[in-house]
Amino acid sequence: MKRIFDIISSFLGLIIISPVFIFIMIWILFDSKGEIFFKQERVGLNGKLFKILKFRTMIPDAEKKGLQVTVGDDPRITHSGKFLRKSKLDELPQLFNVLIGDMSIVGPRPEVPSFMNEYDDETRRIILSVRPGITDRASIEFTNEAELLDSSNDPRKTYITEIMPIKASYYVEYVNNHNFFSDISIIFATLQKILK
């Protein structure tokens, strides 16, 4: 049932928001040089690697010029990127990931391999037993993650030692207790958070 919901909702979503897609694509092209989409390797269901899609919000080759986590008012972020990140519109292309089966609408957010390896074996096994999602409780709680890391002398260490354990608790709780109605609740909570 969850997979059927993902296919239908992602397909309809892509059709309904296609005008927004086109506008954002044009904006990115005029705002800065580089590709429209940002692709990054993430860890998915059962440890399978896949390329996550986002609208590009940073300068080209941003990962070669800084951390894999975004900190505060990161100078690598483009003008359009600031709005897209704040509104979460940069996540819209992940509907393609959902449609082809790499992701789900709701589920633990997929990490890059280097961060996923920081989890202990059992936690990693639980998290990777479901498809990663576009949104979840951790995403709702940590919308200000970049600001939190901005005050740290070592953002990567802070992310691993302080933020990741909290996220892991949300992920494990989700895997153990999720159902169709809890997914719907998370979707509405996400929309409410974005609108605020």
61: left (phi over 0), alpha (psi -120 to 50) or beta: left
Residue 159's alpha-carbon distances to 33, 143, 165, in angstroms, are 30, 14, 9
CA nearest neighbour of 182 among 67, 101, 83, 105? 105
pLDDT in tens, 54-76: 999 988 776 666 665 665 567 88
Can you list the residues of the chain whose pLDDT is less than 70? 62-73
Determine how many CB atoms are found less than 10 A away from the CB of residue 171.
Answer: 27
Please tell me the predicted confidence (pLDDT) of residue 41: 96
Q: What is the pLDDT of residue 73?
A: 67
Q: What is the pTM of this model?
A: 0.88
Position 70 scores a pLDDT of: 63
